[in-house]
Amino acid sequence: MDACVFCGLISADSARWIAKEDTAVAFLPLPGEEIAPGHTLVVPRRHTTAGLLDAHPDDLGRVVDLAQRIAQKMVDKLGATGVCLLNASGPDSGRSVDHLHLHVVPRYPGDGDDCLPWPTGRSRHRLSTDPQVLLST
């Protein structure tokens, strides 16, 4: 896992830590990479290669729990009026690191909605079957 930047930060204990828990950790991005003051990354300690797609369910639950607690602190302590939770998983998602990570981005009055993780284009991919049939449980 040495090639994974997040695994490297965790093993070297060299991040700007917000929280270090048994299963998940949270840290600030590199200086100058923040989307907003307080922007935090939350990752599981256990490595994943496809993010959300191959994360252990227990790890995913702990990461989301930690992200929620950090989001609440952003509102309570930083004066944020909302948060954006951003994730890209899988090779064609635009992800930058092959390790599950959630960006918890505080939003402040006047920030607008430009933080929303909504693709700007539409996929040209076509399915041969109705997605409702394929996705329904």
Question: Rounded mean pLDDT of 44-70?
Answer: 94
Tell me the CATH number for domain 5-135: 3.30.428.10
Tell me, yes or no, if 103 is annotated catalytic.
Answer: no
pTM: 0.84
Per-residue pLDDT for 135 more than 70? no
Query: What's the rounded Cα separation, in Å, for the pair 4 and 115?
Result: 26
Rounded to 5°, the CA angle 27-81-95 comes to: 40
pLDDT tier, 116 (very low <50, low <70, confident <90, very high otherwise): low
Phi-psi category of residue 121: left, alpha or beta, with phi > 0 → left and psi -120 to 50 → alpha: beta
**Which one-letter DSSP state was computed for residue 52?**
G
pLDDT at 124: 74
96 pLDDT higher than 90? no
Instruction: Out of 39, 101, 103, 125, pick the active-site residue.
Output: 101
Read off the pLDDT band of 137 (50, 70, 90). low
Residue located via tokens 């100058």: 32
User: How would you classify the pairing of strands 102-107 and 24-28?
Assistant: unpaired
> Residue 1 has what pLDDT?
44
